[in-house]
């Protein structure tokens, strides 16, 4: 890709753990430069390798993210019920494998108990304050959600309202959400 290519932008994904549930929500906008290419993309998925439910949301290149989700699913099949181990194994492969290291995406994953952000730098991060957010509007959603965590709002309400705030601020984020709850 040349340096003057405008690049794919946009996505906000948030994970909120509260009240025994974890909600992962993502917007539907895909942009190329300053143009919205699609407004209804589904960037949050439920994986069920071997009957073990995991919810994953991705930011970045869609093809790259699908490659990573497939790899995560294989790791989960090899280590059923061990999201942390599967996530660490994926992060190691992502960082060290010549092909995978070129992938441009980030993941938020949860099994309803654990919540992680997985990056191509080899990071598997468990967020502080039970909120994780990635993508172009991630910081806006993160700040909004953290401000609501001490209220009586449930995890889904916190996630939806944080996403609405991010969509109002970030031009690469829209309000067409995919929301998955687990736990």
**Distance between CA atoms of residues 137 and 141, nearest Å:** 6
Report the topology of domain 8-182.
3.60.20
Q: Is 173 annotated as a binding residue?
A: yes
In the predicted structure, residue 1 carries a pLDDT above the cut 50:
no
What is the DSSP secondary structure assignment for residue 179, as one 8-state letter? E
Residues known to be catalytic: 11
> Among residues 12, 11, 20, 22, which one has the least CA distance to residue 156?
22
Is 79 marked as a binding-site residue? no
Q: Which of 5-14, 21-30, 92-101 has the lowest mean pLDDT?
A: 5-14
**Per-residue pLDDT at 50 exceeds 90:** no
Task: Provide the pLDDT for residue 102.
Answer: 87
């Amino acid at each position: 890709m040349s340096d003057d290519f405008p690049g794919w932008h946009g996505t906000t994904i948030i994970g909120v753990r509260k009240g025994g549930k974890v909600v992962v929500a993502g917007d539907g906008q895909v942009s190329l430069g300053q143009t919205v290419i699609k407004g209804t993309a589904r960037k949050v998925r439920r994986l069920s390798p071997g009957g073990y439910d995991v919810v994953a949301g991705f930011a970045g290149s869609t093809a790259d993210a699908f490659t990573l989700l497939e790899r995560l699913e294989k790791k989960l099949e090899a280590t059923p019920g061990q999201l942390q181990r599967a996530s660490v194994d994926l992060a190691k492969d992502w960082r060290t494998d010549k092909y995978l290291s070129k992938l441009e995406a980030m993941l938020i994953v949860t099994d309803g108990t654990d919540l992680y952000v997985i990056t191509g730098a080899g990071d598997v991060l468990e967020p502080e304050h039970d909120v994780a957010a990635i993508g172009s509007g991630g910081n806006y959603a993160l700040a909004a959600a953290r401000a609501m965590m001490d209220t009586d709002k449930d995890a889904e309400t916190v996630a939806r309202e944080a996403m609405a705030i991010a969509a109002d601020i970030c031009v690469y984020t829209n309000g067409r959400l995919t929301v998955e709850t687990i736990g």
